[in-house]
Amino acid sequence: MVCFLVAGCHNPAPPNEPKIVNTPEKMDQQTSESIKDALEFAVEHNGKIDDSIRLQFINVVNLFYNNNRFENIWSHKEKWEPLADSLYQFIENANFSGLFPNDYHFKNLKSLKNILDTDSLKRMDANLWKKADLMLTDAFMHLVKDLKDGRLSSDSITINKAKVADGFYSDQLLQLVTTKKLTSLLDAVQPKFPAYWELKNGIVNFLDSMDKRTYTYVGYPFKSGDEKDSLAFIKTIQKRLNESKCIALADELPDTNQLKTAVKKYQKQKGLKQDGVISSSLIKILNLSDAERFKKIAINLDRYKLLPDTMPEKYIWVNLPGYYLQVWDHDTMVMDSKIICGKPATRTPLLNSYITDMVVYPTWTVPNSIIAKQYLPKLKIDPNYLTKIGLHLVDDKGETVDPTNISWAKYKKGIPFKVMQGSGDDNALGIFKFNFNNRYAVYLHDTNQRYLFKNAVRALSHGCVRVQEWEKLAFFIARNDSMNLKSGETLRYTADSIKVWLEIKELKRIGVKNKVSLFIRYFSCEVKNGKIKFYDDIYGEDKALREKYFTDK
């Protein structure tokens, strides 16, 4: 008996027995007392207020009610406040903000609202009004957080984003209760970027024409050599192909021929080459449903929330999946250029930096990763390989080294020399280079393979960003330096001097006085010509975030 009582003390039941109040005038007092009791329990039990409801923001919610004498705010005297209806409708339509209603207690709120609106006896239960109040408050706090900061974790390129104190959320709710303006308050916490609002506003038309059928998501690749994982994959792809009416579901898994026939049938539906081969490109198409596109929209809206609250007046914006570079000056795009970025195996890093200097007719120092993977194996076969492709070896004193005098067989992971290419029209960097501080040894530059800009898919480099309109970018930076020259300062170059150096093909390093900020980012959808345009997930960034944050959506 003693043990039973001790266990009971450690695991008390949540205070949810019906608390019937016979007169509406006394409901608020009883609801307030129930809120206090429920919060005392929830603080000790990870936010739980009953077996099906857990407050996600228990500490913030508890802080608010403690400061508000535990008074209920969303209903009074057995009637909903207009603000409660507004918040409920916002949650119901959360998809229009790239959010998911059930993240904000929608399922439970819908059920509870229906009970309180239709059952006169249940309407007299203070514990039900307590649940409604706590869920709406928790939902509001959660909405403010997701609309302001998003659902993605901060990373190494998230800058100028101070952590929001718990008091911020309480202040927002107090402001809401005072002003009664839900929409304007929630709008105010969201990013100010026009592109963010264009994408968000584009959701309305997207949802109007959306195929709302849910298809099974196929994870790929499966673990090589893991029979259990490969069988799970076959079961999953069978289910997905069945949803497209390409194979029947059966107790036994399909054999190789049955699966190949089903894949061919699906490929025929989609106008693809009918080879029956399961590949990453096929899985990508299988997963390309409107429901998955919506998750892509949600992910990209959250990416804007990781940007600084205020962008610099002038900055260079590189979007890798879109294969473009833009220059922005006081909220106006003044330049747009195609780019070539890193291959998936040698991806261009996401980063924040600024242009420090520019080089006319640059030399190229080959990255160590290229030397180890591409050049060293060939040097072991042919010591003259570098000479044949227009490169030369340089030692730590800056002197040229004869490659035929090197014993290449002893090197495995690298070499104690620099591999360089002299400046000229055939240089891999082209005839112009933009340097910026970064730990990846990448930069923006021209290219000697300008014909590649015609390609639709341009993830082709070893990590650097090749810029088609490099000349326009150089002249923008030069004009910016000239226009911002302070009294008494001198500038050692102009746009005209750059033109001269280009004409005479002179190697020249140009220090940039007014450093223009650079943001290299990964946005895989945006609004173009009034419609949401989706880009290929070239580095699998969307896939990784989808599987980390949105598997249950």
Enumerate the domain spans of the chain: 2-190, 215-288, 310-528
**Which of 51, 30, 38, 49 has the alpha carbon at shortest distance from 125?**
30
13 has a pLDDT exceeding 80: no
Q: Which long-range contacts (CB under 8 A, 24 or more apart) does 221-229 make?
A: 221/280
Rg (CA), the chain: 31
Structure tokens at 2: 């003693």
Cα distance between residue 91 and residue 83, in whole Å? 12
467 has a pLDDT exceeding 70: yes
Extract the runs of DSSP E, i.e. beta strands, from 189-323: 314-319
81 has a pLDDT exceeding 90: yes
Mind giving me the DSSP string for 355-406?
Answer: EEEEEES--EEPPHHHIIIIIHHHHHH-TTHHHHTT-EEE-TTS-EE-GGGS
Task: Please report where in the chains the tokens 């093909």 appear, as a residue.
Answer: 505
- Find how far residue 21's CA is from the centre of its chain: 49
- Residue 3: its pLDDT value, please? 39
pLDDT digits (tens, 9 = 90+) for 216-236: 999 888 887 788 888 999 999
How sure is the predictor about 160, in pLDDT bands with cuts at 50, 70 and 90? Answer: low
Cα distance between residue 141 and residue 172, in whole Å? 8
How sure is the predictor about 7, in pLDDT bands with cuts at 50, 70 and 90? Answer: very low
Q: What is the mean pLDDT of residues 480-492?
A: 86
Neighbours of 171 (CB within 10 A): 12
1 has a pLDDT exceeding 50: no
Non-local CB neighbours of 41 within 8 Å, separated by 6+ positions = 12, 14, 15, 48, 49
- Residue 511: its pLDDT value, please? 95
Q: Name the CA dihedral angle for 151, 296, 323, 220, rounded to a multiple of 10 degrees.
A: 100
Task: Please report where in the chains the tokens 């192909």 appear, as a residue.
Answer: 241
pTM recorded for the entire structure: 0.88
- Residue 2: its pLDDT value, please? 36
482 has a pLDDT exceeding 60: yes
Helices (H), 17-57: 27-44
The residue length of the chain stands at 553
- Residue 162: its pLDDT value, please? 65
Helices (H), 98-149: 106-118, 126-148
Q: What is the mean pLDDT of residues 49-70?
A: 95
- Residue 134: its pLDDT value, please? 98
Cα distance between residue 144 and residue 187, in whole Å? 10
Backbone angles phi, psi at 47, to 5 degrees: 90, 0
Task: Please report where in the chains the tokens 């112009």 appear, as a residue.
Answer: 432
Non-local CB neighbours of 334 within 8 Å, separated by 6+ positions = 327, 328, 476
| CATH fold group of domain 310-528 | L,D-transpeptidase catalytic domain-like (2.40.440)
Angle between helices 58-67 and 126-148 (to 10 degrees): 120
217, 123 Cβ separation under 8 angstroms: no
How sure is the predictor about 155, in pLDDT bands with cuts at 50, 70 and 90? Answer: confident
How sure is the predictor about 12, in pLDDT bands with cuts at 50, 70 and 90? Answer: low
pLDDT digits (tens, 9 = 90+) for 362-414: 998 888 888 888 888 888 888 888 888 888 898 888 888 888 888 888 888 88
76 has a pLDDT exceeding 60: yes
What does DSSP say about strands 351-360 and 332-342: parallel, antiparallel, or unpaired?
unpaired
User: Is omega for the bond preceding 221 within 30 degrees of 0, making it cis?
Assistant: yes
How sure is the predictor about 9, in pLDDT bands with cuts at 50, 70 and 90? Answer: very low
Q: What is the mean pLDDT of residues 19-29?
A: 94
Cα distance between residue 101 and residue 150, in whole Å? 15
Enumerate helices (H) and strands (E) in the chain, giving the number of each. Answer: 19, 18
| Collapsed DSSP state (helix, strand, coil) of residue 284 | helix
- Distance between terminal CA atoms of the chain? 46
How sure is the predictor about 161, in pLDDT bands with cuts at 50, 70 and 90? Answer: low
Non-local CB neighbours of 48 within 8 Å, separated by 6+ positions = 14, 41, 42, 54, 55
Amino acid letter for position 507: L
Q: Which DSSP symbol is given to 521?
A: E
**Which of 470, 365, 355 has the alpha carbon at shortest distance from 423?**
365
Structure tokens at 527: 């609004």
**Which of 20, 50, 29 has the alpha carbon at shortest distance from 38?**
50
Q: What is the mean pLDDT of residues 518-525?
A: 97
